[in-house]
Amino acid sequence: MRVLVTGGAGFIGSHTVVSLIEAGHEPVIVDNLVNAKRSVVARIGRITGHEPELVEADVRDLDAMEKVLQSGYDACIHFAALKAVGESVEKPLLYYDNNVGGTFALLEALSGAEVKTFVFSSSATVYGDPDPATLPLLESSPIGAATNPYGWSKIMMEQILRDVQVSDPEWSISLLRYFNPVGAHQSGLLGEDPSGIPNNLMPYVAKVASGELSKVKVFGNDYPTPDGTGVRDFVHVADLADGHVAALEKRAGEQGVFTYNLGTGEGHSVLEVIAAYERQSGKPIPYEIVGRRAGDVASNWASVEKARLELDWQTTRDLDDMCADSWRWQQNSH
């Protein structure tokens, strides 16, 4: 399939472009490079032997999207979005404009070009703050109230996509709800490169292991979890990337909206992540317990049965693999 990959130069998008090429598809990246570097394309080329085309454009630019789509596509995977939770609280209009507005323009251009197979980057954030007694989260679990505009933008876009499919049943829409994507490509050539001080746990731990930051601040040890620290379903970005290819191959052209959790089905605590990273890096990772972070949930992890049964997809990499690959990337990227 020839696949338009918006945000394909970013963290999850670049790994998915690798998986698409390796599965014999032809991805074309559209990215405005607001949170990515052009050099990613050459790195994808080194890994796969095929350098994908990158069109530098903003998905909110309808004319640009219509122009890109003139060359003919079978499907679109839509990663392009802003994703910093804290920034979304400071700049809600920017987040709604970029994430929701960008999806509007893209859908309009795709509809005009008769490209109606669409895979969307959703997030476990749509489940809000789940009652720990109800875990694991099922795709049918209630969608919660988001605690920030970023989360609301995902809830809104899911609803918009369901409405679009009702209005025009020709659409085939897969909503992929990622849990906590971490790790990096095994080659050490692709990974996450947050600018400034990382907000997310594993990139922060990586910088403590490398000595760039002095210690991890653990946000709370009084949660109702086995060791009191937050529990999340960390999923290796390369497994996640393969989940997109599976969704595309199983669902392309099939009318409907298909929702899948993409996670491992297992929760790990913040302290377990720190211990695994110490094992894999061989570096001491000092930490201190500080207060809870506003908006954090105690625990969440996925039921992954639906993706396993319907997409024939399951993860193959564990927490130690995620830390080992993150550490390789951390060392290579400096």
Question: Letter for the amino acid at 123?
Answer: S
Decide if residue 137 touches ligand WQD (CB under 6 A): no
Q: Which of residues 268-297 bind ligand WQD (CB under 6 A)?
A: 270, 293, 296
Spatial CB neighbours of 49, under 8 Å, sequence gap ≥ 6: none
Torsion-angle region of 303 (φ positive above 0: left; ψ -120 to 50: alpha; else: beta)? beta
Rg of the chain over all Cα atoms, to the nearest angstrom: 19
Question: Which of 42-50, 62-70, 77-85, 319-327 is the region at the interface with ligand NAD (rule: CB under 6 A)?
Answer: 77-85
Which pair of structure tokens corresponds to residue 293? 């972070």
Which CB atom, from 21 or from 182, has the smaller least distance to ligand NAD?
Answer: 182
DSSP state at residue 97: I
Which of residues 19, 123, 281, 326 is near ligand WQD by CB under 6 A?
Answer: 123
Question: Which of 39-47, 55-63, 67-75, 198-206 is the region at the interface with ligand WQD (rule: CB under 6 A)?
Answer: 198-206
H-helix or E-strand spanning residue 94: helix 92-95
Decide if residue 218 touches ligand WQD (CB under 6 A): yes
Q: Are 182 and 315 in contact (CB under 8 A)?
A: no
Which CB atom, from 125 or from 174, has the smaller least distance to ligand WQD?
Answer: 125
The CA-to-CA distance between both ends of the chain, in Å, stands at 36
Q: Are 322 and 184 in contact (CB under 8 A)?
A: no
Q: Are 202 and 326 in contact (CB under 8 A)?
A: yes
- Closest contact distance (angstroms) between CB of 323 and ligand WQD is 13
Decide if residue 201 touches ligand WQD (CB under 6 A): yes
Q: Name the residue with the smallest CB distance to ligand NAD.
A: 10
- Closest contact distance (angstroms) between CB of 247 and ligand NAD is 14
From CA 18, how far away is CA 25, in angstroms rounded?
Answer: 10
- Closest contact distance (angstroms) between CB of 198 and ligand NAD is 11
Complete DSSP assignment for 155-223: HHHHHHHHHHHHH-TT-EEEEEEE-EEE---TTSS-----SSS--SHHHHHHHHHTTSSS-EEEE-S-S
Question: Which of 32-40, 66-74, 197-205, 278-286 is the region at the interface with ligand WQD (rule: CB under 6 A)?
Answer: 197-205
Decide if residue 10 touches ligand NAD (CB under 6 A): yes
Q: Are 11 and 43 in contact (CB under 8 A)?
A: no
Which of residues 78, 83, 116, 236 is near ligand WQD by CB under 6 A?
Answer: 83
Decide if residue 121 touches ligand NAD (CB under 6 A): yes
Decide if residue 243 touches ligand NAD (CB under 6 A): no
Which among 238, 240, 178, 232 has a CA at the least distance from the CA of 201? 232
Residue 79 touches which of ligand NAD, ligand WQD, none (CB < 5 to 8 A by kind)? ligand NAD
Which CB atom, from 66 or from 289, has the smaller least distance to ligand NAD?
Answer: 66
Decide if residue 178 touches ligand NAD (CB under 6 A): yes
Residue 127 touches which of ligand NAD, ligand WQD, none (CB < 5 to 8 A by kind)? none
Give me the residues that bind ligand NAD (CB under 6 A), please: 6-7, 9-13, 31-36, 58-60, 79-83, 98, 102, 121, 123, 178, 181
